[in-house]
A and B are shown apart, each in its own frame.
Chain A
Amino acid sequence: MNANSFVSINDISKEKIIELLESAKRFEENPNQDLLLGKIVATLFFEPSTRTRLSFEAAVNRLGGRIIGFSDASTTSSSKGETLKDTITMVSGYADLIIMRHYLDGAARYASEVSSIPIINAGDGSNQHPSQTMLDLYSIFKTQGTLDNLNICMVGDLKYGRTVHSLLMALSKFNPTFRFVAPEELKMPVEYKIFCDNNGINYSEHSDLMEVIDEADILYMTRVQRERFVDLMEYEKVKNCYILKNKMLDNTKDNLKVLHPLPRVNEIEMDVDSNPKAYYFQQARNGVFARQAIICDVLGIK
């Protein structure tokens, strides 16, 4: 078992979040540093991913480390029936750090228990994606200058979207006000509302984005997926309610930034891209710095 692994946002203290954000800021100012010289990082992607894998690999390259790994499990011995434990144990002998994405919930936690080297969770099924949360937090921190006392409006699929759940848990340490905007089928699960109640966090639920958009500091958009709906009539009825159009930003606060974990399909119209409040592409870029900070932290590099 390796104690330095980065597995779940729920393990990360407020102090550690702030430390990682400050570290990410230093990497943004000076991205190319040979802190991983002579180190080998294994990127094990049992499930395909574009952004996450590329930004982790960009982070390692900017730090001067070398990469081994795979981006498609069908070409590996796990497709022959090898257990995750055996794969991880073997790779532990080859590399100094494992960055892994897996299609099963809890895979990263289990890997961290059988591995002798640190594990960074790059997404485990529908459970956690903590490096995404760190880059979301960094984007909020960078654009607002703080994480404290912000009005966060989450829009779209709040039921299945793991990014909104992790972001909610992380921001709950910073006295936020949440506005949950979702269709009936995709409302925030009750356990997260209980969590907010138990922690004295101010939140409200809405079906119309225009009710709350003007008071938001952060608009966190997610994709409303057609396949989530049992009743497709219902989907047709609500799909346009959760599409952000440039005009809708007219009366919003000056400091508002629009975030989206990407990929975007149609939930943000193209004409929003040129609005200075659109931030999702910079957000994706911030992922490299946030991941540089995580990598150095788990390896104990200051």
Chain B
Amino acid sequence: MNKKELLVAGLQNGTVIDHIPSDRLFKVVSMLKLDILSNPITIGNNLISKKSGTKGIIKVTDKYFEKNEIDRVALIAPHAKLNRIANYEVVEKKELELPDELIDIVKCANPKCICNKEPMATRFDVIDKKNVVVKCHYCEKALHKDDIVLL
């Protein structure tokens, strides 16, 4: 095992989220509420990435995230890699991808939309995965990446 690998290795059970853009790392940390989690956590940032300059990485021991939590991360770090580790083995490895539909994750920016007035879940269709454009299922207004506000 060389020194580079040491930075990320050594998780018995848990989740590794790798290739997070450096400027998004701490957003992902707060989104996953890691600041109030008592599990052992390793956070690295501004590490050299072969693909995209620098990257961030998060390792959380004994924690697997729900789909809903991962979908939220996909919105701000669409190309991050998720690894599930069980007994030192990678049991699942995938690149985060926006789902076709986001339920109760995004807030609709239209103050006249029914979903901002009724006690109900918001629902967005992802109409452009590459550029991250979502469209409210109710008022049919589109939201672009930079205008997306999470609930």
CB distance from A123 to the nearest CB of B (A): 13
Interface residue? A272 (CB, 8 A)? no
Q: Which residue of B lies closest to A110 (CB)?
A: B114
| B137 partner residues in chain A, CB cutoff 8 A | 106, 109
Measured in the bound complex, the distance between the Cα atoms of B118 and A127 in whole Å is: 17
Task: Knowing A85-B120, A104-B117 are in contact, say whether A110-B112 is a contact too (CB < 8 A).
Answer: no
Q: Is A109 touching B120 in the complex (CB atoms < 8 A)?
A: no
In this complex, the interface size class of chain A, counting residues with CB under 8 Å from chain B, is: 10 to 19
| B141 partner residues in chain A, CB cutoff 8 A | 105
Chain A interface (Cβ within 8 Å of chain B)? 8, 10, 83-85, 102-107, 109-110, 124-128, 191
26 example contacts (A-B, Cβ-Cβ < 8 A) are as follows: A10-B140, A83-B118, A83-B119, A84-B118, A85-B118, A85-B120, A103-B112, A104-B117, A105-B110, A105-B113, A105-B114, A105-B141, A106-B136, A106-B138, A106-B140, A107-B114, A109-B137, A109-B138, A110-B118, A110-B120, A110-B138, A125-B112, A125-B139, A126-B112, A127-B139, A128-B140
Interface residue? B115 (CB, 8 A)? yes
Measured in the bound complex, the distance between the Cα atoms of B112 and A109 in whole Å is: 14
Interface residue? B142 (CB, 8 A)? yes
Q: Is A105 touching B119 in the complex (CB atoms < 8 A)?
A: no
Q: Is B140 touching A104 in the complex (CB atoms < 8 A)?
A: no
Q: Is B142 touching A191 in the complex (CB atoms < 8 A)?
A: yes
| A127 partner residues in chain B, CB cutoff 8 A | 139-140
Q: Is A105 touching B112 in the complex (CB atoms < 8 A)?
A: yes
Within 8 A of A (CB), among B119-143: 119-120, 136-142
Max chain A CB contacts within 10 Å: which of B112, B115, B136?
A: B112
| A110 partner residues in chain B, CB cutoff 8 A | 114-115, 118, 120, 138
Q: Which residue of B lies closest to A84 (CB)?
A: B118
CB distance from A199 to the nearest CB of B (A): 15
Measured in the bound complex, the distance between the Cα atoms of B142 and A105 in whole Å is: 13
| B140 partner residues in chain A, CB cutoff 8 A | 8, 10, 105-106, 127-128
Measured in the bound complex, the distance between the Cα atoms of B117 and A104 in whole Å is: 9
Q: Is A106 touching B142 in the complex (CB atoms < 8 A)?
A: no
Task: Knowing A109-B137, A110-B138, A125-B139 are in contact, say whether A104-B120 is a contact too (CB < 8 A).
Answer: no
Task: Knowing A110-B138, A125-B139, A127-B140 are in contact, say whether A104-B119 is a contact too (CB < 8 A).
Answer: no
Task: Knowing A125-B112, A126-B112 are in contact, say whether A105-B138 is a contact too (CB < 8 A).
Answer: yes
